[in-house]
Structure 1
């Protein structure tokens, strides 16, 4: 056994020491996703999903290159380990991997533009009370398209949101 020093990176997750604790982030991985999607120079936006979506005639057409949709979505699933702010959107987009439509690809591009402006975000772990708390919520049959329920859960370790 040997001492490797302080933790810097493990399985692509970087650990940075801050004044209030440790920040777990995937900034390098997020930038590589932006490079592969050829969107590293895109204009950043402040929200991962549009509040209102506008549907055009081409919105309901199948996306011409499904592989171009599937590859970034698979990469974004690993990024959700340290990005609770994008988990819901990524999982919603994953539901359409079999047959993505043009408006799904537009939502994916919007999410990537959001990530472009927020690569520094991660999970802040603070050295305090490490009580594990969880909260669950569901809205019954609220999805207007298929009448399915949408549920969510939040897990905190102390005051730090971990999922």
Structure 2
């Protein structure tokens, strides 16, 4: 539970820090400095284009390679975001707000992947929910003394147990 809260807070922090968009032009900035240009080139070699950057299998392989090379989680995320942002910045068909949205979405995905692979047990599934559904989840969860994510996890576990019981009968 604490790991999920930390991950959500860390993701929010990253999303508020990268990328910065000036009033006139999209710019790639990062609160961190890449450890070396060679490592950024290595990330670009492992994930050569924007399509590769959204391929979870390729990202997982790249994360494993960079970890073996001794790169910290924060630097892996920083390098992924730096490489992806540079790729997106070159996309002429996108508006500045579209570029920002893509980089922010990728930042969250990269952060979740890097930290979820830490234990090898956590898998995070992204499911878009309408604001009305999120509000309802939060109200029900609060009544039961749970956070929204904890209530969702509990509800899914209960549904799976019911499915298993129904199959046995």
- Shorter-chain TM band: under 0.3
Higher helix share: 2
TM-score of the two chains, using structure 1 as the length reference: 0.24
